[in-house]
Structure 1
Amino acid sequence: MGVSKRILITGGSGFLGSHLCERLLGAGHDVLCVDNYFTGRKENIRPLLGHPHFEVLRHDVTFPLYVEVDEIYNLACPASPIHYQHDPVQTTKTSVHGAINMLGLAKRIKAKILQASTSEVYGDPAVHPQTEDYWGNVNPIGPRACYDEGKRCAETLFFDYHRQHRLRIKVARIFNTYGPNMAVNDGRVVSNFIVQALRGQDITVYGKGDQTRSFCYVDDLVDGLVRLMEVTPDDFTGPVNLGNPREFTILELAEKIIAMLGSSSKIIHTPLPTDDPMQRKPDITLAKSALGWEPKVLLEDGLAPTVAFFRKVLGL
């Protein structure tokens, strides 16, 4: 085991954050989980509450925070369209003010800081698959812009702090991730389909269902984040894509989940949302070479514990 560090995770009770808390506690670190519970759930971190090295603070990152830590993982932000479009102004504030506050903290205490960015910075990509040097194709005034542009601005701030203040930064661009601790009502495609199939409801596919996504199991993703934070030398900043390059159409995913559950659900088609990307697939060449990272969990293997989690949550 390496040296024990004090690690702050913003958004620590969210889907990704809760898994990251568990992983870092398991590695022997002191973990401070910060969340305002807008989309994070106390149930996600309940199993960790008795751990002697785990601490929880209710706090909104749009306000400054004064703590002493060695590393910061900045995950705080609603990440599903239903949640980030519910209060778009607050979503932008969380990305931008949150980044400013966490970067300010990192600068004061000389901590290393990682930004959980997103594949949404690529928008509806004109390049496929997406490499880190692609600048993206984003509508700055559309309904998704609060998230897309908020995250793009956060990346800008991270690199300006790096250039101007020599701050040690890491930027991960996270592609579609799934697994236990997802919220039932988050509107993401994996949770939507599983919940609908378990309840025997119609499965709603936007458009023809020929748009593609790449699905990364949460354990693989968390491993990528930790590797990025720990990789030496520190001057490797990213941005680096983290995701599973295996590509599926939305229709394929729906059919796979129906078959897996033996569900009686029928697939129905509804209109495409505004600015919904048609293709999403990471190029992970950089992650492989710089981090020695690539996802290991197949979609079929990751869906099983995810389905089990939703069965328990729904009491089925």
Structure 2
Amino acid sequence: MKRILITGGAGFLGSHLSEKLLKEGNEVLCVDNFYTGSRKNIHNLLDHKNFELLRHDVTHPLFVEVDQIYNLACPASPIHYQFDPVQTTKTSVLGAINMLGLAKRLKIPILQASTSEVYGDPAVHPQPENYRGNVNPIGPRACYDEGKRCAETLFFDYYRQHQIDIKVIRIFNTYGPKMNPLDGRVVSNFIVQALKGENISIYGDGTQTRSFCYVDDLIDGMVKMMNSSQGFTGPVNIGNPREFTMLDLARKIIDLTGSESRIVFQELPEDDPLQRRPVIDLASEKLNWKPTIELTNGLVKTIEYFRDTLQAEKEIQTLA
């Protein structure tokens, strides 16, 4: 049994990671300031004897005793990270400094949940880990993109200077149950709009592409990276290499929900990447990892979650 700290533990990914680590017999210390995380995500874990919740902001130091650290804390959707861009950058940078300091004191492994956004609007496609990216450092997305890039810098500087056992993964688009219906991400947007019978909004002409990894696959890769041999630092791409256009995704969700929603087109936001697909050869070689859940199967589970969530909200509104 290990005692494992997860920052951002009440978020979409953090809550799924908490569940997996508890099922494996570990103790989990979930740390979250609930800026974007939700108690609803971890409600089923609150009575678990090996689960502990601590309300804390990682921009401030934390003094606890643990065996591993997963650093997931940071708003990850454009709506949330652009709402308070200064705080977003502080969360990535100061959060990394504080968690690395804790790992240094305790001499324990620490994993950084980085992002495919470090590649920006890529000029190389698909994206291998040695591609250095095409990021606008002064654009509206820079608080997240450059914050995560700086966090990676800090991780590797601590590794070289203090011999910290670091693990860095770059997460590509991930979806599944417990996503926030209002987080502005494409999968949740399309599903909610389809279930409500609203127009489905596509930004740009719909030919831009993304690769979608189901959350269970992502969490499996994350845990494998943490438990990989010491000295293997990454960064490692964790994502699904199958690529879909926004039009493909919208039509698939309309079909799976049985919706009569229409597709409408809106202006593409500034610096929105036109292509995004990971090269996962390194994850396959070093971690024996690859995604196993096809998009259709994952979407069915995600749609079921959102249908239940929207129905519950409707019932609450009716009672009120």
User: In the TM superposition, what is the alpha-carbon distance from 1:221 to its structure 2 partner?
Assistant: 0.1
Q: 2:262 aligns with which of 263, 266, 273?
A: 266
> What is the 5 A alignment of 1:157-306?
157-232=154-229, 234-306=230-302
User: In the TM superposition, what is the alpha-carbon distance from 1:79 to its structure 2 partner?
Assistant: 0.2
User: In the TM superposition, what is the alpha-carbon distance from 1:64 to its structure 2 partner?
Assistant: 0.3
> What is the 5 A alignment of 1:111-190?
111-190=108-187
Aligned length in residues: 312
1:30 maps to which residue? 27
1:81 maps to which residue? 78
Q: Could you list the runs of 5+ residues in structure 2 that have no partner in the other structure?
A: 315-320
- 1:159 partner SS: helix
User: In the TM superposition, what is the alpha-carbon distance from 1:202 to its structure 2 partner?
Assistant: 0.1
Q: Distance in 1 between matches of 2:41 and 2:258?
A: 28
1:95 maps to which residue? 92
User: In the TM superposition, what is the alpha-carbon distance from 1:181 to its structure 2 partner?
Assistant: 0.3
1:51 maps to which residue? 48
- 2:83 partner SS: coil
2:36 maps to which residue? 39
1:309 aligns with 2:305: yes
Q: Distance in 1 between matches of 2:58 and 2:245?
A: 36
- 1:85 partner SS: helix
Q: Distance in 2 between matches of 1:28 and 1:75?
A: 21
Q: Could you list the runs of 5+ residues in structure 1 that have no partner in the other structure?
A: none
Q: Distance in 2 between matches of 1:85 and 1:258?
A: 29
Question: Counterpart of 1:241 in structure 2: which amino acid?
Answer: N
Q: Which runs of 4+ in 1 moved over 6 A?
A: none
Normalization by structure 2: what TM-score? Answer: 0.97
State, as a whole percentage, how many aligned pairs show the same letter: 71
After superposition, give the CA deviation of every residue in 1:164-196 in whole Å (9 maximum; x if it has no partner). 000000000000000000001000000000000
- 1:222 partner SS: helix
Q: Distance in 2 between matches of 1:90 and 1:270?
A: 29
Root-mean-square deviation (Å): 0.5
Q: Distance in 2 between matches of 1:313 and 1:263?
A: 17
Q: Distance in 2 between matches of 1:303 and 1:252?
A: 13
After superposition, give the CA deviation of every residue in 1:13-39 in whole Å (9 maximum; x if it has no partner). 000000000000000000000000000
Normalization by structure 1: what TM-score? Answer: 0.98
